[in-house]
Amino acid sequence: MLTANHIHELYRYRDLILRLAWSDFKLRYKSSALGFFWSLLEPLLMLVVLYVVFSNLMRIQVEHYQLFLLLGIILWNFLDRGTSMSIWGIIGKPSLVQKVYFPRDILVISTCITALMMTALEFVVFIIFMVIFRVMPGWTVTYFPILFIFEFLIILGLSMTLSALNVYFRDVQFIWRFVVQVGFFATPILYPITIFPENVRWIVMLNPMAQIITMMRDCTLYGIPPDLLNLAYAAICALALLLLGYAIFDRLEPKFAEAI
């Protein structure tokens, strides 16, 4: 479980967590001609394709749609990348799990940090685009790191659940791939939440990622501070998913070595 003692133990292993994260980060681009630049090109190429298609299909005009779309892509990519990589966090390192003792959640945490590093590079593209389009964020951008932490906690909680379940049920990786693809279109990434009738919006906004992406766009691009109730909802969802993920991970961890 995620107790004070366990948090203290994870802190003692902080160097190992960072080394594993950095090692995975470098390994992903090893023998690649463009190397780290793929982290910059990936969201940019997706932006071009989606912008060309959806800018012509959108019936509702969105201010700074290029930035609106790019920010949504980056934030969703973080969720997609973090959880999809973490599914293999345990079964992808059998020698470590079976032969060496350390808190097993370190493998999942380090993978989420690797995804965080890749997302940080993508934000370089976003900042460049903000400069190009002369969009200067106001004081409301101070909410950005808070909301980003909420997203990281959601990703970590989901990753704990998925990595643990995937040890015993390998179908999890395929089911989650489908869920992520459906979620991309069900979450207001390509379109604003205002595209839905008012009596339907609350259903879409039950998705904490919809809340986070909408609030991060508002505070960064439009100078609109988050509604306190929406902020509280995102915080509660992030904490609940994190605690649930750790509870599932803790329950299944004792037999990881045998199942692998």
Per the structure, the complete domain to which residue 58 belongs is given by: 4-259
33: tokens are: 């001609």
Q: Tokens 């004070």 correspond to what residue?
A: 4
Within 8 A by CB and 6+ apart from 3, the residues are none
3-state secondary structure of 29: coil
- Determine the Cα–Cα distance for residues 106 and 124; give it in Å rounded to an integer: 27
pLDDT at 11: 87
* Total structural domains within the chain: 1
155-188 per-position pLDDT tens digit: 999 999 999 999 998 899 999 999 999 999 999 9
pLDDT at 91: 86
Q: Tokens 């298609």 correspond to what residue?
A: 53
The CA-atom distances, in angstroms, between 243 and each of 62, 153, 231 are 37, 10, 18
For residue 34, pLDDT over 60 is answered with: no
- Determine the Cα–Cα distance for residues 93 and 249; give it in Å rounded to an integer: 16
For residue 37, pLDDT over 80 is answered with: no
Q: What is the pTM of this model?
A: 0.91
- Determine the Cα–Cα distance for residues 170 and 166; give it in Å rounded to an integer: 5
CA dihedral over 207, 211, 217, 218, signed as positive or negative? positive
pLDDT at 29: 67
Angle, CA 159 vertex, CA 114 and CA 111 arms, to 5°: 15
- Determine the Cα–Cα distance for residues 257 and 243; give it in Å rounded to an integer: 23
**pLDDT, the chain, mean:** 88
For residue 105, the tally of other CB atoms under 10 A from its CB is: 26
Within 8 A by CB and 6+ apart from 218, the residues are 140, 224, 225, 226
11: tokens are: 């802190």
